[in-house]
Amino acid sequence: MPDILTPESTDRSTTRGVIPMSFLSRTLSLMKSWSGIRCYFRIFACFLAVHIPLSAGPRVAFLVDDPDLEALLLAGLGGAETLSRRELPRVAAERLLAGAEGNLELTGADVVLVVEQTEDRGSARLVACPSGATIFALDFPKMPVGETARWIVTRVQPSLGAAADPDRPRISLTGLRFVTDSPENRIRERTLNLMLTARLQARGALVLERWRMGDLVFEKHITRDDSPFWKTAGLVDGSLSSPASGGEIQASIRIRDASGREIRRHVDGDNIGELADKIASHILNGQDQEGRGEVKMSAPPAGLEIEAESFLAEAGWMLDHGLPRDAWQATESALALGTASRREAEMLRVKAAAMCAYPDPLIVHGVHNVDVGHWKDAFDLAELPERVAFATMALTLAGDYWNAYPVDHHPGGAKLEHPANLGVRTLYTGLRILRMAYDSGWKNKYPGEFENLRKTIQRNSEALLLSKKLGNLRATLCSYLTVYAAYWNESPGKTMNFYKAMLDTRPRMGLHKGQWPVRIRKELAGDDLPHPPFLTGLASDDDFPRGFSSWRLIGADESPARTAWAAFLDELEQSSDVLSRADGLALRWQSTADTPGRMKLGVRMAKFLAEEIDSLSGEYGYAILLQFDTPIRKLGFRNDLIPMMDKLQEACLAWLGEDVDISPEIISGTLGLLAEYLDETKARRFLDALKLRRDGLQAVKKERGVARIDNAISALLKKFPLLFPKDEGEISLNASLWIAEKYIPGELRRRIGFSHEAVVWMEGHLWVMDPFQGHIWKIHPPSGRAVVYSMEKLPDTNYGTQLLEWEKRLVATTGTGIWILDIPGKTWTRVDLPPAFYRIGVAHRELWAVTGTPDFYRRNKKQVEGTLLYRIGSDLRPVLVASSRRRPPVHPLDATLSGQPRAIFPYRDGNVAILENDSWPGFIESGQGLPLPPKEKTYLGRIQLSSTPGLILREWFGKQLTRIEKIDATGRHVLISHPDYSDLLIPEYPWPEELNTLRGTSFRYTAALSKDGLDILVWSRTGAQGDGASKAWLMCIGPRGRSIAPVRFAWSDDYEHQVRRFDISWPEAYKYPEPVENGLIPTNVGLVITGRGMAGFWFIPNSERDKLRESVRPANYSAPESIAGKHQPD
């Protein structure tokens, strides 16, 4: 018999029996403290309700959100058989595992008592399981738990034998939601929905339970009741809104009958209670605002299509807005009501259950670096019991989905509907939850639930691995399973056998030949944290402040697991296969948890490479090298490694000098290890050899290989800057450096920095915000003079702060809102908007603001969901234009606005263009909520912004500038476009051929519009520290033609003195500036170039820009072979 104190016994079944002795003995120890008394009371109440036979009566299942209240209700409700459903997610998951004919002895309920509470209100409703009809619903004020229990019991008891009246007008509520989200609004909308249910029921309506449909389906399933749920005659949804500062609440409600006919009402109320009363009256009245039309609530509907499809759409909306638990119930409603889109509903049910387990939207991404890891603080570990249950449920449902819809083609694309995509992403969720359950020690308390999840993972992974239709998704699947192998295999022996199978070089896993050995080792060697079981060391905080990573082997006891793991690594290191020996060394390094031990292994790896040079140049050389890269680099320069590195140098030069078909990755990786051991003479030899190899690869158009060789060239030039090729241009433009520390008053000299998005040219000065201190800088670039404004009422600024000019005023965004700066008064005025992070733009003389939360891998639980667009006039009163939370849609954008928009630009007919993502069609226009026309015929690359509002660049995977265009109040205008990427829009200027030579992975671009035309800044990162510019060019394109010249960021002794004097921590950010996408700022005195990590800027005065104006070439000028110089790499 199960112990009464374990979760298995609290009652997922209604087995009756005598009181076990273990229960009586444990109560004595529990009674020694108040917490023990409280726990004892709850357990004893549950025991009485579950184990003591009762007189015949209805079976009542309890769905109560407060465990203390549930215990009192179980003890206090007489005349009925009571069933606790406190652990329903786990019970449902176990039943799914057992199958429809499983051996779980569960008894289904006739009715369910649902009790839900908010901060100041509560609701109790009794629902008939077979029909889904609410027998009664009441709301009550917040009371002490004992008083609440008595209040509910006295009202529920008389209704236990009652039945729902089928002749009452039936109503189905999907729920009303606030158009602006916040924790406070979530509480208010939940309170309103619960009160509205009670008000409708009290006024003679019959509310059909749809919010807990998953629970009702469960009850009917275990009683094998196939009767249909009652149909509805009225479907009600809508939106709520209220000013950010509080006040009257407005409701926009929609009422639809089964035929789809609808009416809409607008209702106002001073508080939630008043609003609930008014909405209930309007729903039952059935008249629209003008008195036209009527919805006959009592008429039987023609079918379930409208309601079923409404709940299906609601489920998708809820998943997009951070409500996975509600979405799971909504999918159950759609399925139970007979949706025509059953496959979509089943997919969304799986997704909802998976998101209830782990906060990951199951977005299908690329196949490389697939394991993004799990966040330990993604949720409170106290939630693990429910999350493990949902993970088990999601995997079980995904397995059913896999069996129901056979895979007949490769998944391809990013459609979650494909059973393989859904199966693999859901499996990844389960693996992360399994790891969290083990690492936190939860597995030791609940071994049964842990084993259920593990078995489900094993079953699903086996089915997926047997499929021959996964394509390259198989590599993703095997990567997940390898990284988490210790957790889902039930024994050390099976884990090690799986490692052997995955480290084998024969399988291709859906990839091209030779790619899998590299791919799986990149996953295993993807971090430098130690992986238990530790063979040496204890992973001290001093050596590893970030802790340790996933277990490689797990056993019943750590000591045998350590012994087995050491034996496995010994076996690998003694293998006759060189790759296996390298694997053994690499895995041993990861299982070494002290610095001295890792240093010794690093030396062994360097010796290994020197002894296995022939293998290093072979088919699996890169698979060896990438595992050794981090350990050897961490050694730094060591005299005892010089002989080994000399051997590698000679071998690498031989590879480059001969016509050897060796991987560019091996050449680049080897040179990365050798950089510390080269002198200038050897570096020059390597540089010449690399350039020849690069030319050969470029001739046969192997761009990936060219990029790798470019990286190697860049590493050499970074180490030996004197090897840079000299400028070959006729002219060059000299930029001067401005450093903020030179001008800031002593009393303000603390940590300072400039946000590259908070730079504005206004009234002859550059205005810059310091996001760390909230100060405003007013700078005159030609003279360098600066004034620092220390403002009052400083807003909460951060590095994402945006600054722009609006009607001679400065507007700044912060993490919580938008502020207007009154410059003479030096004070900020906050715009009355809900707290959020906004992106802003000026269009048609008004300020526009859009906000949205990130939709991919949020580390912590989101506090705000949804995307909203506001328009703000000169009176600073915001008007909500669109909200993704507004239902039914009022504005076209309500149905299409999503994600976290990046920018707002003016567009024609008084509308704005909103950039939703970096891939076209990334822009939508506010008038119709549709992508900007015309539709592109081919993909032009990602979208990049600039400092000029509406000016955007397109880059083909960071290798080639393809287009620059302008979006403004007159429409879309293409300025230049590469001939290979022609489109419907005709460019204003011919394509500058000079850009054909300034292309490749080492080049970056930004642009700006000025009165002289289009300025394009191109820079190369070759040889620079970090991602900064080692060399740059400025191109000017205008009606008269175009011109281009190198830009010199000349580093002087004075600049070196300044960065030392002001103790600048990263001087390379100034010496090799990394211009950001909006880092080129035109002014009437010259060009300002801002870079990442700079509290300053480089400045090209007009006197230098005049050199470009004097060298303008006609628009049809044919460029020389290479404007960048013959030896300049891409």
Q: Per-residue pLDDT averaged across 940-950, rounded?
A: 91
What is 169-202+231-301's CATH superfamily? Porphobilinogen deaminase, C-terminal domain (3.30.160.40)
Q: Per-residue pLDDT averaged across 484-494, rounded?
A: 95
Cβ neighbour number for residue 704 with a 10 Å cutoff:
10
For residues 559 and 564, give the distance between their C-alpha atoms in angstroms, rounded to a whole number.
9
* pLDDT 10s digits, 819-851: 998 777 678 889 999 888 899 999 999 999 999
Q: Is the pLDDT of residue 374 over 80?
A: no
How many residues are listed for the chain in this entry? 1130
DSSP string, 193-210: HHHHHHHHHHTT-EEEP-
- Pairing of β 765-769 and β 776-780: antiparallel
Residue 926 or residue 49, greater confidence:
926
Residue 1076 or residue 981, greater confidence:
1076
* pLDDT 10s digits, 568-588: 999 999 999 999 999 999 999
Name the nearest CA neighbour of 534 among 499, 565, 567. Answer: 565
* pLDDT 10s digits, 677-692: 999 999 999 999 998 8
Beta bridge partners of 206: 170
Side chain identity, residue 298: S
For residues 709 and 666, give the distance between their C-alpha atoms in angstroms, rounded to a whole number.
10
For residues 159 and 170, give the distance between their C-alpha atoms in angstroms, rounded to a whole number.
19
Lowest mean pLDDT among 37-46, 183-192, 387-396, 968-977: 37-46
pLDDT above 90 covers what percent of the chain? 48
- Coil/strand/helix, residue 666: helix
Identify the pLDDT of residue 659. 67
Return the H-helix or E-strand segment holding 1045: strand 1041-1048
- State the virtual CA torsion across 430, 433, 435, 441 in degrees, nearest 10: -140
Cβ neighbour number for residue 979 with a 10 Å cutoff:
10
Beta bridge partners of 1033: 1018, 1046
For residues 617 and 744, give the distance between their C-alpha atoms in angstroms, rounded to a whole number.
55
Identify the pLDDT of residue 550. 92
Q: Per-residue pLDDT averaged across 116-123, rounded?
A: 89
Residue 124 or residue 260, greater confidence:
124
Identify the pLDDT of residue 749. 57
pLDDT band at 720 (very low <50, low <70, confident <90, very high): confident
Lowest mean pLDDT among 17-31, 290-304, 669-683, 1044-1058: 17-31
Q: Is the pLDDT of residue 19 over 90?
A: no
DSSP string, 944-977: E--SSTTEEEEEETTTEEEEEEEEETTEEEEEEE
Average pLDDT of the residues of the chain: 83
pLDDT band at 102 (very low <50, low <70, confident <90, very high): very low
Integer CA distances (angstroms), 755 to 13, 73, 774, 782, 931, in order: 60, 57, 11, 21, 30
* pLDDT 10s digits, 629-640: 999 999 999 999
706-742 b/e (C-beta count within 10 Å ≥ 16 → b)? bbbbbbbbbbbbbbbeebeeeeeeeebbebbbbbbee
Classify residue 1101 by burial, with Cβ atoms within 10 Å: 0-12, 13-18, 19+. middle
Lowest mean pLDDT among 187-201, 327-341, 738-752, 929-943: 738-752
Q: Considering the entire predicted model, what is its pTM? A: 0.86
Q: Is the pLDDT of residue 4 over 60?
A: no
- Coil/strand/helix, residue 326: helix
CB-based contact 47:23 (threshold 8 Å): yes
Identify the pLDDT of residue 91. 62
For residues 1047 and 1037, give the distance between their C-alpha atoms in angstroms, rounded to a whole number.
16
Lowest mean pLDDT among 473-482, 595-604, 750-759, 1078-1087: 750-759
Identify the pLDDT of residue 45. 37
Rounded to 5 degrees, φ, ψ at 310 are -65, -40
Q: Is the pLDDT of residue 1020 over 60?
A: yes
Identify the pLDDT of residue 718. 78
For residues 897 and 624, give the distance between their C-alpha atoms in angstroms, rounded to a whole number.
47
CB-based contact 92:389 (threshold 8 Å): yes
pLDDT band at 21 (very low <50, low <70, confident <90, very high): very low
DSSP string, 796-851: ---TT--EEEETTEEEEE-SS-EEEEETTTTEEEE-S--SS-EEEEEETTEEEEEE
For residues 271 and 275, give the distance between their C-alpha atoms in angstroms, rounded to a whole number.
6
The CB-side HSE value for 852 (13 A sphere, CA atoms) comes to 27
Identify the pLDDT of residue 95. 58
Q: Per-residue pLDDT averaged across 787-814, rounded?
A: 82
Q: Which residues, including other chains, have CB under 8 Å from residue 291's CB and lie 6 or more apart?
A: none
Identify the pLDDT of residue 783. 92
pLDDT band at 44 (very low <50, low <70, confident <90, very high): very low
CB-based contact 301:257 (threshold 8 Å): yes
Lowest mean pLDDT among 10-14, 122-126, 1055-1059, 1084-1088: 10-14
Identify the pLDDT of residue 1108. 84
For residues 38 and 42, give the distance between their C-alpha atoms in angstroms, rounded to a whole number.
6
Alpha helices in 612-641 (DSSP H): 613-616, 621-633
Identify the pLDDT of residue 94. 61
Name the nearest CA neighbour of 1008 among 1037, 971, 979. Answer: 1037
Pick the CATH number of 733-1110 from 3.30.470.20, 2.60.40.10, 2.130.10.10, 2.60.300.12: 2.130.10.10
Residue 353 or residue 379, greater confidence:
353
Q: Is the pLDDT of residue 764 over 70?
A: yes
Lowest mean pLDDT among 282-286, 301-305, 584-588: 301-305
Q: Which residues, including other chains, have CB under 8 Å from residue 292's CB and lie 6 or more apart?
A: none
Integer CA distances (angstroms), 773 to 288, 474, 776, in order: 54, 50, 9
For residues 42 and 62, give the distance between their C-alpha atoms in angstroms, rounded to a whole number.
14
Q: Is the pLDDT of residue 25 over 60?
A: no
Residue 753 or residue 1047, greater confidence:
1047
Structure tokens at 335: 């399925």
For residues 237 and 239, give the distance between their C-alpha atoms in angstroms, rounded to a whole number.
7
Contacts 24+ apart (CB under 8 A), 135-143: 135/111, 135/159, 135/162, 135/163, 135/164, 136/162, 136/201, 137/197, 137/198, 137/200, 137/201, 137/202, 137/207, 138/198, 138/202, 139/194, 139/195, 139/197, 139/198, 139/199, 142/117
pLDDT above 70 covers what percent of the chain? 85
- Coil/strand/helix, residue 92: helix
Structure tokens at 132: 């889904």
Return the H-helix or E-strand segment holding 141: strand 134-141
Q: Is the pLDDT of residue 289 over 60?
A: no
CB-based contact 718:1023 (threshold 8 Å): yes
Q: Which residues, including other chains, have CB under 8 Å from residue 1054's CB and lie 6 or more apart?
A: none
Q: Per-residue pLDDT averaged across 734-751, rounded?
A: 75
Structure tokens at 892: 């076209």
Structure tokens at 561: 């697991």
CB-based contact 80:61 (threshold 8 Å): no
Cβ neighbour number for residue 1043 with a 10 Å cutoff:
22
Q: Per-residue pLDDT averaged across 778-807, rounded?
A: 83
Q: Is the pLDDT of residue 167 over 60?
A: yes
Identify the pLDDT of residue 510. 84
- Coil/strand/helix, residue 82: strand
Residue 13 or residue 391, greater confidence:
391
Cβ neighbour number for residue 699 with a 10 Å cutoff:
8
Residue 855 or residue 970, greater confidence:
970
Q: Is the pLDDT of residue 902 over 70?
A: yes
Integer CA distances (angstroms), 485 to 112, 187, 495, 563, in order: 42, 42, 6, 18
Q: Is the pLDDT of residue 1059 over 90?
A: no
Measure CA of the first residue to CA of the last residue in the chain; give whole Å.
Answer: 73
DSSP string, 478-517: HHHHHHTHHHHSSSHHHHHHHHHHHH-SS--TTS-TTHHH
- Pairing of β 592-593 and β 1031-1038: unpaired
What is the chain's percent helix, strand, coil content, to nearest 5? 40, 20, 40
Q: Per-residue pLDDT averaged across 512-536, rounded?
A: 90
Name the nearest CA neighbour of 834 among 847, 844, 849, 856. Answer: 849
